[in-house]
Amino acid sequence: MPNTRFYVTTPIYYVNDRPHTGHAYTSVLADVMAGYHRLLGIDTWFLTGTDEHGQKVQDSAAERDVAPQALCDEMAAHFGDLLERLRVRNDDFVRTTEPRHTAVVTQVLAELHARGDVYLDHYEGWYCARCERYWTDRDVEEQGGGRCPDQPELHGVERLAEENYYFRMSKYADRLREAIETDVFRVHPEKRKNEVLGFLKKGLTDLCISRNRERLSWGVPLPFDDKYVCYVWVDALFNYKSAIGYLAADDAEHERHARWWPADVHVIGKDILTTHAVYWPTLLMAMGEALPRMVLAHGWLLDSRGGKLSKTKREGDDAEGVLPVPTIDGLLDVFGADGTRWFLATAMKPGDDTAFDWTIVRERVNTDLANGLGNTANRLLKMAAGACDGVFPGLGEDDDVGETQERVRAAAVAAVDAVRAFPETLDVTAVVAAVRSGVAAISLFLQDEKPWKLVKTDDGLPRARIVIAWSLESLRLLALAVHPILPESFATLRTALGMTGDLDFARESQFGALPEGARLGAPPNLFPRIGADAIPSA
């Protein structure tokens, strides 16, 4: 990734229901990516928002007997509230019912039609109203017939015969294949890249981009035929450009788009890979626009039977033998913002799925935070209060450095090196693994040196202070390395460890940056251990 600027997005979240933990996972993952780039001083823009058109929104509004826009306003507020509770630092929040977005979609549709890339044709085949997708006979037959190929356990399909408008997506199949194969347009992880290439190998058909207004009225009208509205997945995808000033007449907006496009990373769930890795790049090609640099398709949080968390399979349910899993509100109530962020950020390598229940979250938070970072901070600051009068005693002379000290320093430096490498790796788990190793190295160093015994003699006190100082300095680097994941706790710990003023990664990532005599704070109770009694009963 180029390191002059960083533009990261989440998918815009569908508003037919309230947000769940899957939405929180995607948001935190993107926020952590943005946070590491900001920590390194890289100019960053982080976009999220809500997808507010389409059949499911119209149906959900009808079920509640409210206007679609009223439903959108209510649900967008819920998503905004969740981002705030999670301490997510998005730079913009786009809604597809906003004029700045609908104006762009209208202009794009008009241009594609004028260029001949959109045409009217007769369609006969299968349609899933809930997924708002047309399916070929082959798609439905492969699923066993009569069911939605994407979610057969939930939705059926109906046979339709009607006229619709199509985008000449097949025209761009070869260009797309070449872009993916050469990583000009990178699909990550590799197994998702192979999945998309396999999809293209079957042959790319044209994409139906309209819905008849007699069936669906809640959408952006086609500017060349008002009997239709735009298919929600064409409408929604252009949020990544409308939010940064695409096609704006205003010079400042035009410059903003030129600065931030192409996006560096679209963070998405693997279930919307085709829309982002096939529909989106071909639409951009048709408009003569640069492709995003990467689509990162992460895995799913799975319930006790291996099912994906979703709006249709609600959290907390005990239906059909599925054990209750934490709601996002429940996670935040029990573990707080930082504990919840830690679990979500460290839950899995992007691309993998992971099991998800109360016990798994509790064990992860207790092990890594309460027993790991939190306990280490408390022990060291208590030792410093007693043996060093609450000030940083200094690291001593270089020629006094032994092998055990060098190991603890190397482990801490490895954590900040993983942060420096982040723009290339985008691997949160690599940073976390280095931090875990650093905490273990401090623990081993203390166990070997036993400063609590050394302080009992005048001869041992100088060595005890050196051990405490090297451990504190190593802990400071480890805390710096997890700052984007644990923003609230880091601020408290940074102060307790003697650092003042504005955060400066270049300076603070150096081992030895904390000056001798710096005043240390009281041991903060950052991560209280979560007992089993704090977990809501199943």
pLDDT digits (tens, 9 = 90+) for 129-138: 777 777 777 7
> Which pLDDT score is estimated for 136?
73
DSSP string for 302-315: E-TTSPBP-SSS-T
- Of the listed ranges 87-101, 145-159, 280-294, 519-533, the least confidently predicted one is 145-159
Q: How far apart are CA 7 and CA 293, in angstroms?
A: 10
CB 61 within 8 A of CB 54: no
The pLDDT tens digits for 336-368 are 999 999 999 998 887 788 888 899 999 999 999
221-222 and 92-95 as β-strands: parallel, antiparallel, unpaired? unpaired
Domain that holds residue 387: 369-508
CB 170 within 8 A of CB 206: yes
Dihedral sign from CA coordinates of 60, 66, 67, 73: negative
- Catalytic residues, by residue number, are 20, 23, 128, 131, 148, 155, 308, 311
Kindly list the distances between the CA atom of residue 103 and the CA atoms of 110, 289, 468, in Å, as whole numbers in the listed order. Answer: 11, 18, 61
Residue 107 maps to a domain: no
Task: Give the global pTM.
Answer: 0.93
Q: What is the mean pLDDT of residues 426-449?
A: 96
- CATH number of residue 399's parent domain: 1.10.730.10
Q: By percentage, how much of the chain surpasses pLDDT 90?
A: 81
Residue 438 maps to a domain: yes
> Which pLDDT score is estimated for 310?
56
- Of the listed ranges 134-148, 431-445, 469-483, the least confidently predicted one is 134-148
Residue 420 maps to a domain: yes
The pLDDT tens digits for 515-537 are 999 999 999 999 999 999 998 86
Find, among 524, 529, 530, the residue nearest to 377 by Cα. Answer: 524
> Which pLDDT score is estimated for 537?
64
- Per-residue DSSP letter, 478: H
Exposed / middle / buried, residue 340 (Cβ in 10 Å: 0-12, 13-18, 19+)? buried
SS3 294: strand
Long-range contacts of 425-429 (CB under 8 A, 24+ apart): 426/1, 426/33, 426/188, 426/265, 426/294, 426/296, 426/350, 427/349, 428/29, 428/32, 428/33, 428/36, 428/345, 428/346, 428/485, 429/346, 429/348, 429/349
> Which pLDDT score is estimated for 403?
83
* Number of alpha helices (DSSP H) and beta strands (DSSP E) in the chain: 22, 16
Burial 226-245 (b: 16+ CB within 10 A, else e): eebbbbbbbbbbbbbbbbbb
Residue 209 maps to a domain: no
> Which pLDDT score is estimated for 7?
98
Per the listing, tokens 């005599």 go with: 517
Residue 476 maps to a domain: yes
Residue 237 maps to a domain: no
Residue 115 maps to a domain: no
- Per-residue DSSP letter, 194: H
Residue 471 maps to a domain: yes
Radius of gyration (C-alpha) of the chain in whole angstroms: 26
The pLDDT tens digits for 4-50 are 899 999 999 999 999 999 999 999 999 999 999 999 999 999 999 99
- Per-residue DSSP letter, 142: H
Q: Which helix (H) or strand (E) holds 141?
A: helix 137-142
Domain count, the chain: 1
Report the mean per-residue pLDDT for the chain: 92
> Which pLDDT score is estimated for 404?
84
